[in-house]
Amino acid sequence: MTGTGTGGTGAGVRAADEDRVFAALANATRREVLRLLRDEGPQPVQALADHFAMRRPSLSEHLKVLREAGLVTEQRSGRRRIYRLEAAPLAEVQDWLHPYERFWRERLKGLGELLDRMPDDDRP
């Protein structure tokens, strides 16, 4: 929904989305939540909370950050809310990563030095 062409602002929205995703991933608890949803499938909040040494309301706030980054969705089931992994924003992270790939591959082949460009104004 907040996809590639929402219209109007265009790139500004994308940048904000990107920022939310990277910010969401900047916390170890939230990354662990994503791993749990990936490895154990969709779960209600309490089941997730069992894995952490943190009160449930704190986890609720982490889930909110993940929701606003589009990394999880909730589906209400009675009085519970089943959280599910939404991996699509992670594809954008991979896209962001891609232009760097050749740099670490060069390093691994030991060719890095040869291909580095000097700043071309002066050297000591």
Both tokens of 67, joined, read 């929701």
The gap from C-alpha 14 to its chain's centroid, in whole angstroms, comes to 14
Q: Is 31 in the site for DNA (CB under 7 A)?
A: no
Question: Would you call 64 exposed, middle or buried from its count of C-beta atoms within 10 A (0-12, 13-18, 19+)?
Answer: exposed
**Phi, psi (deg, nearest 5) at residue 90:** -70, -25
The gap from C-alpha 48 to its chain's centroid, in whole angstroms, comes to 18
Nearest residue (CB) to its own copies, 15 versus 58: 15
Give the residues lining the site for its own copies (CB under 8 A). Answer: 15, 19, 22-23, 25-26, 28, 31, 34, 38, 41-44, 47, 77-78, 82, 84-88, 90-91, 93-94, 96-97, 99-101, 103-104, 107, 116-119, 123-124
Give the residues lining the site for DNA (CB under 7 A). Answer: 23, 26-27, 29, 44-46, 49, 53-58, 60-65, 74, 78-81, 124
